[in-house]
Amino acid sequence: MRNKLSVIVLGAAVLMSLSISAFAHHGNATYENKSVTIKGTVTKWLWTNPHSFLLVDVTVDKGNVVHWVCENQAPSTLVNFGYNAKTFKAGDTVTVVLAAVAKNGAPIGRIDEVILANGYVMHSEVR
């Protein structure tokens, strides 16, 4: 009887751990697969899990500034492409190619590649 109860508790724990992982994953419902290229000044580089973020100020018509939030992969993935916690610093000029942008028109997107001021292209996935 005690052995049967242990198996049930263990089974429940396994199922809960799997469901938590599945629940934590999110989809692309808020993004539209549309390529957009922006050029601006880095304000912050957030080297965080589960995603990293590059915040970029882009000057548009009449000198207005749009604050873009550019989402990238997890640091554990990005290290394979040459990124690290010090890749970008505030004040750097970058060109960001976004592979997807927010459907609601907000200045938010997912990074495909970042072109540094010296022309070096940093990819975010295998090509």
Per-residue pLDDT of the chain (127 residues; tens, 9 = 90+): 556 554 454 444 444 444 334 444 456 788 999 999 999 999 999 999 999 999 999 999 999 999 999 999 999 999 999 999 999 999 999 999 999 999 999 999 999 999 999 999 999 987 7
Residue 26 in domain: no
Residue 78 in domain: yes
* pLDDT at 24 (0 to 100): 44
* pLDDT at 27 (0 to 100): 64
Domain that holds residue 98: 31-123
* pLDDT at 125 (0 to 100): 84
* pLDDT at 127 (0 to 100): 74
Please answer whether residues 99 and 33 qualify as being in contact, where contact means their C-beta atoms are separated by less than 8 angstroms: yes
Residue 107 in domain: yes
Please answer whether residues 98 and 113 qualify as being in contact, where contact means their C-beta atoms are separated by less than 8 angstroms: no
* pLDDT at 26 (0 to 100): 55
* CA atoms lying within 13 Å on the CB side of residue 75: 9
First to last CA, the chain: 56
CATH classification of the domain holding 99: 2.40.50.1010
Residue 39 in domain: yes
* pLDDT at 17 (0 to 100): 43
Please answer whether residues 108 and 69 qualify as being in contact, where contact means their C-beta atoms are separated by less than 8 angstroms: yes
Residue 22 in domain: no
Q: How far apart are CA 116 and CA 127, in angstroms?
A: 18
Q: How far apart are CA 63 and CA 49, in angstroms?
A: 34
Residue 63 in domain: yes
* pLDDT at 2 (0 to 100): 56
Residue 79 in domain: yes
Q: How far apart are CA 12 and CA 38, in angstroms?
A: 48
Instruction: Pull the structure tokens for residue 52.
Output: 């990293």
As for how many domains the chain has, the answer is 1
User: Minimal CA–CA distance to 48: which of 23, 71, 75?
Assistant: 75
Residue 72 in domain: yes
* pLDDT at 18 (0 to 100): 42
